[in-house]
Amino acid sequence: MARRKGWLEGFLEPEVDRIERRSVEQFAAYRWNGTSLVQESVRDISPSGVYVITKERWQRGTLVTLTLQREGPLEMNADRRLDMLAKVARSGKDGVGLAFVLPKNDPASSQWEMLRSNLIEDWKPADMLSLVRSNEAISFLSQICPGGAEEIGQLLRGRLSNHKVAVAVDIVLKAHSLVAQEVATEGLHAETNLVVRILEDGSCTEEGWLKHFWGGLLATSCTAHGKDELSRALVGLFSQLTTFPVRLLVVICTRATKVLAESGVVFAKPLACKIDELTVTTGSRGQQVERDLQRLCELGLMEKQGAGSSAMLAANEVLIAPTSLGLQLFAHCNGQRGPLQQFYALASHEGQGHVHSLRTRSTQAIPINR
């Protein structure tokens, strides 16, 4: 981080030729744990790190974003708090010791630190929760897009309103939470232009479950090599969908029987759906459901089967199945980073040539009628 000027910097100033760990009272560490803001006591602190009293026992090397300040209300004055990225160094009986991760002496790190400071200054978070969440989001973005501070900064500080910035932060934190469940975030990268598109398009939504899906797409765009053609294609498709087609995709991908072929390809069996039932389930209208189904078919996410569509619709029923691409999109929206059959809980019988299918695993709920 850039050097702070003020009482906190003086407090952390090391004595000559040695680093002193100082015991402190009424000093708090705030962090976002993926679902809520956590405030924990600080036992001691030095210019190189901090010991936090916590029940957590992270693995050594785990990165944690912290906001340190005196216990009490949020310090709006940046000189009276310290926003730090720290790495777990050791575990103790009552907590963990973390070493501060100082920014590299390069232009990219400086750009991220400037973006963090400017974003907080522009956004003016009203409470500690908003401040900690924004710090966590910027830290994650700096890890997955080391050279993307300028482009992401232009989006967050230029093209998005404060409300949309808050939504973008929600999406980033959801992605961080999903990635952290699977692997360490260190070493994962994403294409900056893809991240910008996800945050720009995703920030337009007001619905929590859609923010979850955008977060899933951001999580799955993070790879060891930083490039993923499938993620680019899926984000492009999802950007063309409005709320009701996505609800249809969720309903049909969830209800259809998924099958794992001997080749390893996952596909779905045709599902007989009554238009009236889809209308009630998704909260849409009959004619709108028909148009949305057609749109999903045009994008290659669904396919109608059997007799001609007009004949089927006249009987108020349609035979439809999600394509392999549709199944991929649904899995990525839920943050699935591994094999597709893992998400749909599919496995072939050992030593047998036929296929085996199971129900889709539990996914993010959407507010639809039953």
Q: Is residue 286's pLDDT more than 80?
A: no
Q: Is 170 exposed, middle or buried, given 0-12, 13-18 or 19+ CB atoms closer than 10 A?
A: buried
Q: What is the pLDDT of residue 9?
A: 53
Would you state the pLDDT for residue 154?
96
- Tens digit of each residue's pLDDT (9 = 90 or more) over 161-204: 999 999 999 999 999 999 987 766 668 899 999 999 999 999 99
Domain boundaries, the chain: 7-100, 107-238, 243-343
Q: Indicate the pTM of the whole model.
A: 0.83
Q: What is the pLDDT of residue 300?
A: 96
Q: What is the pLDDT of residue 311?
A: 43
| Average pLDDT score, the chain | 84
CA-based torsion, 240, 242, 244, 249: positive or negative: positive
Over residues 109-128, the mean pLDDT reads: 87
| Tally of residues, the chain | 370
What pLDDT is stored for residue 8 in this prediction?
54
- Residue 94: its pLDDT value, please? 94
**Residue 216 pLDDT > 90, yes or no?**
yes
| Per CATH, domain 243-343 is 3.40.190.10 | no
Q: Is the model more confident about 313 or about 238? A: 238
Query: Among 102-111, 122-131, 249-258, 287-296, whose mean pLDDT is lowest?
Result: 102-111
CATH classification for the domain delimited by 7-100, as one of 2.60.40.10, 3.40.50.2300, 2.40.10.220, 3.40.50.2020:
2.40.10.220
Q: What is the 3-state secondary structure (H, E, C) of the chain?
A: CCCCCCHHHHHHCCCCCCCCCEECCCEEEEEECCCCEEEEEEEEEECCEEEEECCCCCCCCCEEEEEEEECCCCCCCHHHCEEEEEEEEEECCCEEEEEECCCCCCHHHHHHHHHHHHHHHHHCCCCHHHHHHHHHHHHHHHHHCCCCHHHHHHHHHHHCCHHHHHHHHHHHHHHHHHHHHHCCCCCCECCHHHHHHHHHHHCCCCCHHHHHHHHHHHHHCCECCCCCHHHHHHHHHHCCCCHHHHHHHHHHHHHCCEEECCCCCEEECCEEEEHHHHHHHHCCCHHHHHHHHHHHHHCCCEEECCCCHHHHHHCCEEEEEECHHHHHHHHHHCCCCCCHHHHCCCCCCCCCCCCECCCCCCCCCCCCCC
- Say if 7-100 and 243-343 have the same CATH topology: no
